[in-house]
Amino acid sequence: MQLNWLQIFRLGLVQMALGAIVVLTTSTLNRLMVVEFALPAVLPGALVGLHYGIQLSRPRWGFISDKGGNRTKWIIGGMAVLALGALVAAFAVTLFATSYILALLLSLLAYSAIGLGVGASGTSLLALLATTTAPHRRAAAATITWLMMIFGIALTAGLAGSFLDPYSPARLMSVVSVVVTGAFLLTIVATGRIERGLIATQQQDPMPFMEGLREIWAEPHARNFTLFVFLSMNAYFMQELILEPYAGLVFGFTPGQSTQLSGAQNGGVFMGMLTVGIMATGLKIGSLRAWVTGGCLGSAVVLGIIAVNGAGGGFAPLMPLVIVLGYFNGMFAVAAIGSMMALASDGRERREGTRMGLWGAAQAIAAGFGGLTGAAAVDLFRISLSDGAAFGAVFTIEAVLFIASAFMALHVLGRTSAPLKPQRETPALVPGE
């Protein structure tokens, strides 16, 4: 037996829970540190970079999944660690006003737990999808779960933002507690009994981890796609830690308003993904490579406008620009995910989890490096430039990286550049191949 559409949707709820927790740690807590507590932007950048660094364990989690076992326990266990880490991280932020050292130590512990939880739960979830989903459904399944994650991010950011104003430590802890508890309970319910009755598509493999990883790296398509993921995700995540502080310092947004800004951006991401699903799969317009390239170039153009807008004193409302940026980000992301799921099963058998883990590790490295670099660059530029010009310079660098990613996609994604073929069991609103 393989996953049916209802079971795929249920696993998408887990991805939604992951996104709901992570958005609080990478957006809301980051903004509070920089604006409310006047900490250098490089500090939350380093903490988020730590949580991405811990995710270098993703290939190991994928390898363990390839060798068989109960993936559900790793999904639930990872979610528990993630929820606890997010709760401790929020508490640590409230301590920066009274005990900097204690707050920093707790933050280091919390963000390490966040990285461990995301790596264990997220990679095990993707491995379960890759190995128990019919081949012609894999791209569609990945898209469904990713859209649900974006929905969870947008919904959480919007609701959390509305409840955070006026800000107080007690209000922050209440909001975070509700989110992490709900996400954990949802994960338990969503994964219940899914693995029971499924016949595993993989067999036990005695090959050592490093040998298996070297085999995957020797595959040209896997290696080239890893490099593309690293470059494009550097561009994608460079603005993650600076967008909300930018809104607060340059445009005067409150904590609640800047959190809602993040929710609006992810709403744009959701619409961009939905557009690609309708156009590429429903109407058979465009290829995965074309949508990836278009998303990268569109993101670069909007980032350029945002950069000029901030340096020029805010001649245009920020919210619409951020929504359009999210729209093009979503176009790029969902087409890249479709390519990823198509390539995950292209090569040696029983290595889907390892490939997904390798690409997940590349994304984690790029996300941590890109986020930290963006935050550090803002601090550096603010020494000699105004706030608007400093943030604008970083947005310009990000735009250049997106342009480079677009050109790389034209070569790396050649194998998935053909228009998507219709599948009898593929839903009409998600890209499949």
From residue 108, alpha-carbon distances to 35, 48, 172 in Å are: 20, 10, 19
Task: Quick: pLDDT tens for 315-360.
Answer: 778 889 999 999 999 888 888 877 776 676 665 555 666 777 778 7
Q: Are 138 and 352 in contact (CB under 8 A)?
A: no
353 vs 299, which has greater pLDDT? 299
**pTM (two decimals):** 0.72
Q: Is residue 429 part of a domain?
A: no
Q: Is residue 428 part of a domain?
A: no
- Burial label for 222, CB within 10 Å (0-12, 13-18, 19+), is buried
- Measured CA to CA, the distance from residue 409 to residue 56 in angstroms comes to 24
Residue 263: the pLDDT is 77
71 vs 83, which has greater pLDDT? 83
The CATH number that applies at residue 355 is 1.20.1250.20
User: Which position has the token pair 């969503």?
Assistant: 190
Q: Is residue 206 part of a domain?
A: yes
274 vs 15, which has greater pLDDT? 15
Cβ partners under 8 Å of residue 221, min gap 6: 343, 346, 347, 415
Give the residue among 372, 295, 286, 350 at the shortest CA–CA distance from 328.
295
- Measured CA to CA, the distance from residue 238 to residue 291 in angstroms comes to 21
Q: Is residue 423 part of a domain?
A: no
23-27, 348-352, 387-391: segment of lowest average pLDDT: 348-352
Q: Which of 157-166, 375-384, 408-417 has the highest mean pLDDT?
A: 375-384
Q: How does residue 405 score in pLDDT terms, banded at 50, 70 and 90?
A: very high
Residue 138: the pLDDT is 65
Domain range for 82: 5-416
Q: Are 21 and 154 in contact (CB under 8 A)?
A: no
Task: Quick: pLDDT tens for 88-124.
Answer: 999 999 898 888 899 999 999 999 999 999 988 888 8
3-class secondary structure, 313: coil
HSE-CB of 312 using CA atoms within 13 angstroms: 11
Q: How does residue 203 score in pLDDT terms, banded at 50, 70 and 90?
A: very low
Q: How does residue 1 score in pLDDT terms, banded at 50, 70 and 90?
A: low
Mean pLDDT, all residues of the chain:
80
Q: Are 431 and 277 in contact (CB under 8 A)?
A: yes
The DSSP secondary structure of 208-237, one letter per residue, reads -HHHHHHHHHTSHHHHHHHHHHHHHHHHHH
From residue 210, alpha-carbon distances to 60, 206, 214, 337 in Å are: 9, 12, 6, 25
Residue 109: the pLDDT is 95
Residue 205: the pLDDT is 53
- Burial label for 291, CB within 10 Å (0-12, 13-18, 19+), is buried
Q: Is residue 424 part of a domain?
A: no
Q: Is residue 425 part of a domain?
A: no
Q: Is residue 54 part of a domain?
A: yes
Average of per-residue pLDDT across 191-214: 64
Task: Quick: pLDDT tens for 238-283.
Answer: 887 788 888 888 888 887 787 788 778 878 988 888 888 778 766 7
How many domains is the chain partitioned into structurally? 1
19-23, 75-79, 208-212, 363-367: segment of lowest average pLDDT: 208-212
3-class secondary structure, 281: helix
Q: Is residue 188 part of a domain?
A: yes
Residue 423: the pLDDT is 34
Q: How does residue 139 score in pLDDT terms, banded at 50, 70 and 90?
A: low
